[in-house]
């Protein structure tokens, strides 16, 4: 079968690999769609994510959907949860599998991901994909779940003013979710004008170009000096963290979702301390797949419109290059 491997910085090679072995409880899935995530771009641009570094080649890809080709589920169209927690550790038993230290995650560390024609994965991680949803829609459920988990952490109330700092695919999905759940004003910021246009189209009431912190002052002015009830930072820029803190009202929650390029997050402590802000760091997602499917099926969220580019597996190098340029929105590979 064909697989796309990252060998180093900006080095993606499609090669022949043996078919995966099935462990107990696994089924074989023919991968139909897999998204290129911001974390995949860290592997591509830096050959690592934070303190995790590329030691051998890695098949990336954790946002995926496909068709089961073995077992009694043969022919089933499925979306796939990329996280395999151990199920027995303290965090798993407390209901926080996203904190599991012994689990495996597709396309991270030694666990190859889904940018290949076939993958063996536990049937417990599969979710039936409704007929009206495409495979690309199924792949988008993982970033949608990430946005949902971040919003869950913010404990928002109806009628809140919320800021989304960074309007990549997850940020744009967060804008749609906030609109659906009753946020009154949704402020969106980004470095790229075309992403701000998309944010406005999908529900942002106010959009501001990220310009060295100027956007925080614009948000404060737009709220009459009050500030945001909550802020979601979904970028890889430290300036977005600073802006989110500056634009938030005293007592607000600031949720950090983005993965910083240099593995460092810094901000002016005096501002955050005097405002008594609650800072939460969001890790992946938690128990969101069924809710995500329901939201898409009910047309509360349009995941399909976020996909701007589609490539065959053979063009994976080009797909990553386009995604890294950030000219569009979501890049999807179709093995």
- 11-63 residue pLDDT tens: 999 999 999 999 999 999 999 999 999 999 999 999 999 888 998 999 999 99
**Looking at residue 71, what is its pLDDT?**
86
**Looking at residue 270, what is its pLDDT?**
96
The per-residue pLDDT for range 240-290, each reduced to its tens digit, is 999 999 999 999 999 999 998 888 898 999 999 999 999 999 999 999 999
The rounded distance, in Å, linking the Cα atoms of 64 and 137 is 9
Contact yes or no for 48/109 (Cβ under 8 A): no
Q: Where are the domains of the chain?
A: 2-140+303-334, 147-281
Cβ-in-10-Å burial (0-12, 13-18, 19+) of 194 comes to: middle
Residue 114 has pLDDT above 90, yes or no: yes
The rounded distance, in Å, linking the Cα atoms of 76 and 72 is 9
**Looking at residue 228, what is its pLDDT?**
98
* Average pLDDT along the chain: 96
Residue 4 — φ and ψ, nearest 5°? -100, 120
The rounded distance, in Å, linking the Cα atoms of 205 and 42 is 31
**Looking at residue 83, what is its pLDDT?**
97
**Looking at residue 263, what is its pLDDT?**
87
Fold for the domain defined by 147-281: Rossmann fold (3.40.50)
Q: For 2-140+303-334, CATH number?
A: 3.90.180.10
Whole-model pTM?
Answer: 0.95
Distance of CA 134 to the CA centre of its chain: 19
């Amino acid at each position: 079968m064909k697989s796309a491997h990252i060998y180093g910085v900006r080095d993606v090679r499609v090669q022949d690999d043996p078919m995966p072995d099935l462990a107990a409880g696994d089924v074989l899935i023919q991968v139909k769609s897999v998204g290129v995530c911001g974390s995949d771009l860290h592997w591509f641009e830096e050959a690592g994510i934070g303190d995790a570094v590329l030691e051998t080649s890695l098949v990336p890809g954790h946002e995926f959907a496909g068709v089961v080709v073995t077992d009694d589920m043969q022919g089933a169209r499925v979306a796939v949860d990329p996280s395999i927690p151990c199920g027995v550790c303290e965090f798993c038993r407390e209901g926080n599998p996203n904190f599991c230290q012994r689990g495996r995650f597709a396309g991270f560390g030694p666990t190859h991901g889904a940018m290949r024609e076939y993958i063996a994965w536990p049937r417990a991680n599969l979710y039936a994909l409704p007929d009206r949803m495409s495979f690309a829609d199924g792949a988008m459920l993982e970033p949608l779940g990430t946005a949902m988990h971040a919003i869950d952490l913010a404990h928002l109330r109806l009628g809140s003013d919320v800021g989304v700092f960074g309007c990549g695919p997850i940020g744009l999905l967060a804008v749609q979710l906030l609109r659906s759940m009753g946020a009154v004003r949704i402020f969106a910021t980004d470095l790229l004008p075309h992403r701000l246009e998309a944010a406005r189209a999908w529900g942002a009431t106010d959009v501001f170009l990220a310009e060295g912190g100027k956007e925080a002052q614009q948000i404060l002015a737009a709220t009459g000096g009050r500030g945001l009830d909550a802020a979601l930072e979904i970028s890889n820029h430290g300036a977005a963290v600073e802006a989110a803190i500056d634009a938030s009202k005293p007592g607000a929650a600031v949720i950090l979702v983005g993965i910083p390029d240099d593995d460092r997050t810094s901000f002016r402590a005096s501002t955050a301390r005097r405002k008594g802000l609650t800072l939460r760091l969001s890790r992946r997602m938690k128990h969101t797949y069924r809710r995500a499917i329901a939201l898409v099926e009910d047309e509360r969220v349009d995941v399909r419109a976020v996909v701007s580019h589609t490539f065959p597996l053979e063009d994976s190098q080009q797909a990553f290059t386009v995604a890294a340029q950030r000219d569009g929105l979501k890049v999807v590979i179709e093995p």
